[in-house]
Amino acid sequence: MKFAGFKIIFIIALSLMGSVKSEETSEFKIPSNFKPVSYELNLVTHLEDKFMFEGVVGIRMTCVEATDTIVLHSKSLNIDTKSVVVANGGENVIPVSSVSFIPDKELMHVKSTVNFKACDEYVLTIPFTGNLTEEWIGYYIRSYVDKESNQTRWFAVTQFEALGTRKAFPCFDEPEYKATFKIRLGHKKGLTSISNMKFMNQINCPSNSEYVVDEFEESPPMSTHLVAYTVADFVFNEANSEDDQVKYRIICRKELVNQTEFAINLGPKVLKYHEDYFHEKFPLQKQDMAAIPDLSTNSMENWGLATFKENYLLIDLNVAKIDDVYDVGHSITHELAHQWFGNLVTMKWWTDLWLNEGFAEYLGLRGVDFVFPESKYFQVANVKNFLLVLNLDSLQSAHPLSVAIGKPDEIAPISQDPITFAKGPILFHMMNTFLGEDTFKQGIRNYIHEYKFSNAEQDDLWSSLTEEAHRQGTLDKNVTVKQIMDTWTRQTGYPVLNVVRDYSAGTVTLSQERYLSIKSNGTDNKTCWWIPITMTTSGDLNQTNAKFWLNCENNNLTTPLAKDNEWVIYNMQMTVLFRVFYDTRNWMGIICTLNDPTKYETIPTLNRVQLILDSLSFSQVGDMDYEITFQLLKYLKHEIEYTPWLAALSGWRKIDNLLKRTPKHAVFQNNIRDMLSCVYNKFRNMEEKVNGYENIQLQSLVISRACEYQTKDCIQRVLDLFRKWMKSVDPDNNNILPKELKDTIWIRAIQYGGVEEWNFLWGRYQRSNLRSDKDDMIFALGCTSIKSLLLRYLNWLLDDSIIPKEDAYTAFDSVTRNEVGFSVAKEFLYCKISDISEYYQPEGDGLVKYVNYIASQMKTKEELEEFKSFIIKSSGYFKEPDLVINQITETITKNIEWTSKFYNKILQN
């Protein structure tokens, strides 16, 4: 059977995000005349022969308000309207006058000849069929090649968040309409079905001797987007558990079962951690974690059956980098946190998606620290979140964290937006800090207990936290959490705290304004935040408690500060999302302390991180001389912590990108080489094992950048190791490279090697069974300096049989970052735009992503005009060419402004 499907790839464009401004409306929401109570879903899945499913759903519901029409969701389903039945109490049939559909709103109307009565219960029964398509939403089909038999294996899997359930069966497909689900799944013998709830029994299908029907227990009340099921030939690995414990299983392809050990050992510990944190027992009898060969999202928290891309759940501990191991741990802790925060208590509407994801991300990071207390994973991840948010949220085109959702097509961009996942945990960490751990945790527990098996919204959580804070006395009775947090979630961006000292008077004046990386005309005085003020001085390094709040009412505040303090630093431990701008004298006092190897550690590590990030950013926008920033960065020659180096090298990367393809690039790289040489000496023996998460991270970062900037013998050591691997027996199963440095070695060996090295790594990519390795290899292959290889590689991106679409973006991004590859990638885009557009149809967003990769590397007015002209000339290939032009204009203009201001100054220091 021919099935015409397409993969939905959600691309986040900042300019597009900036345009999401609609208010919540009822236009696209179903009327509240009916409330579902329970579903009975009977479904038969046909794989390999028909590629379709057929079923019957019975929805028991209560009439809330008298009406003659039941309105629910249905999309792309075949429904025999004459077979739709409504019964009162399951017995008396109610006459149905018509069944109609509104396709553009994905609605189904069942109209009766009589009014449905308020408070009465009805059962709506709908038989339906649907095609198993290749779309990444709804109930879809995928295949993989079984390596043992070399045969294609088909499987069907659900991905319902946000609007996919209506594509699998008719339902009330909005988060607020919780109901219980009783599911029966029919499938061919030899396959296995899994659903949210525990398996009960299996019977032979009465109408087809080749099929069986699996019955599952009835679920607690849950939202439709959390329903999940799959039919496949996957295998199970079950954790050892006591009789009263939750049954915990990992589900995957047979050939990957050896990669389940980490997840099977971690999961039960994390479940117990979350039970203790929420003070609420896990509400289900089992928790399945399924590794899916092809999933639209990295992972999904379906209640009792969480699904993951394979490399977000499975890992081979013998060959995996520690970063990948902890990232898998984080993925597991995140989705298990959702089983309470998101599933047990669910948002009322998609506007609070940030709340759902933000808290699960926060507690997921905390969970990794619990399981691996020596790792400091939370601290490292929080710094990485700061790096992301400080950058994205400083743009005019940024959007608030809490975005009103009106139309269905506004949900997907928010659900995939990095701000949703990065800014949320920063703010929860901030709340935990200013409320205190005990108050914060008890407030969360109260919220879960009050709203379990129900729905809630942002303000309900703020209310629970406020009540507990007032009870414990950790927040002034006249202040609410909502007052504070609305300034952080409902308005765009973040502030800069301006610190101006009067040294003769012994005072300091604090004020705030929104921080923008591209200066607008005039100051934005309309936005202000509730900022908890913490600080320390050279005279007292223990002043870490919040002294007061800076807000709209006292936004220009002068307080005493002793004259003899050499410096003052605000935002202790970088717990709040803002930058701090000091006067020059204060900066110089800080620099003196940092550059003293016996004193620099008196400034806490995370404050050193913030000083690096802020000074680089202020210099980039012209508020501070680069001379001051470079004096501060000189202290790095004695820095031994990972996160300050991460901050510095991330900031330098921006400068490095802007200097690429210019005469001064080589001079800049030479300066960075000098800065790196001391710390590189510590790690130059690449085969020497390093212990500890942060030390390993530091080693990987330093070796990566040292080779990038051609520090000392770094390149030769990499090439020697790579060529030694090439000569080894069975290189696929005997990778002799230091596992923490594999990605760096691959990248530089391809960059400085030849055709032989490239072909060797391409062979390893094709044979690899490790998703994380394949991701790193596909990036590395785009780093070659040989143009003919780059051109062939780019052409392969349009052939899914050579390079899967999921890998094509990484490959193209890699080529555009390559100094040699940029012009090749740009010419490829210009010449192949028609082919690229067609390849990513019907969604077409893949082309936009390619355009953004190219735009990010441009930095002259001539390049901007050339690229705008190209977009205009090719406008027919874009859904919204004006939005694309606006986005690339902001990106390139930012680069142009920096180049014009600083290109001739940057290397005079």
Q: Residues at the annotated binding site for Zn(2+)?
A: 334, 338, 357
Separation of alpha carbons 897 and 622, rounded Å:
10
b (16+ CB within 10 A) / e for 23-60? eeeeebbbeebbebbbbbbbbbbbbeeebbbbbbbbbb
Task: Tell me if residue 777 falls in helix, strand or coil.
Answer: helix
Distances, alpha carbon 208 to alpha carbons 40, 183, 188, 212, 643, in Å: 21, 19, 9, 8, 61
335 in catalytic set:
yes
Separation of alpha carbons 155 and 152, rounded Å:
10
Beta bridge mates, 603: none
Tell me whether residue 510 is exposed, middle or buried, using C-beta atoms within 10 angstroms of its C-beta: 0 to 12, 13 to 18, 19 or more: buried
Strands 556-560 and 495-502: unpaired
Q: Treating both helix axes as pointing N-terminal to C-terminal, what angle do 845-855 and 881-902 enclose, rounded to 10 degrees?
A: 10
Residue 395 has phi, psi (to 5 degrees) of: -90, 145
Q: Which DSSP string corresponds to 655-718?
A: HHHHHTTSTTHHHHHHHHHHHHHHHHHHH--TTS---SHHHHHHHHHHHHHHHHTT-TTHHHHH
- Residue set of the binding site: 334, 338, 357
Query: Which has the closest alpha carbon to 331: 374, 360, 293?
Result: 360
Answer whether the bond into residue 400 is a cis peptide, omega within 30°. no
b (16+ CB within 10 A) / e for 286-310? bbbbbbbbbbbbbbbbbbbbbbbbb
Specify the DSSP class assigned to residue 228: -
The first and second tokens of residue 165, run together, are 């359930």
Query: Which has the closest alpha carbon to 182: 35, 33, 37?
Result: 37
Tell me whether residue 880 is exposed, middle or buried, using C-beta atoms within 10 angstroms of its C-beta: 0 to 12, 13 to 18, 19 or more: middle
Distances, alpha carbon 125 to alpha carbons 70, 97, 341, 571, in Å: 12, 15, 32, 59
Q: Which DSSP string corresponds to 346-382?
A: EESSGGGHHHHHHHHHHHHHHHHHHHSTTS-HHHHHH
Beta bridge mates, 235: 252
Separation of alpha carbons 447 and 460, rounded Å:
8
Beta bridge mates, 211: 188
Please report where in the chains the tokens 């977000």 appear, as a residue: 312
Separation of alpha carbons 290 and 305, rounded Å:
7
Query: Which has the closest alpha carbon to 833: 822, 843, 846, 823?
Result: 846
The 10 Å Cβ neighbour count of residue 724 is 11
Starting at the edge strand that comes first in sequence, how are the strands of the sheet with 495-502 ordered? 556-560, 507-514, 495-502, 579-582
Beta bridge mates, 187: 212
Contacts of 126 by beta carbon, 8 Å cutoff, 6+ apart: 56, 57, 59, 79, 83, 84, 169, 170
Contacts of 279 by beta carbon, 8 Å cutoff, 6+ apart: 445, 448, 449
Q: By the 8 A CB rule, do 367 and 337 touch?
A: yes
Separation of alpha carbons 525 and 556, rounded Å:
12
Of 310, 335, 468, 694, the catalytic one is 335
Radius of gyration of the chain (CA): 29
Query: Which has the closest alpha carbon to 272: 356, 376, 367?
Result: 367
The first and second tokens of residue 721, run together, are 């190791």
For the annotated catalytic residues, the residue numbers are: 335
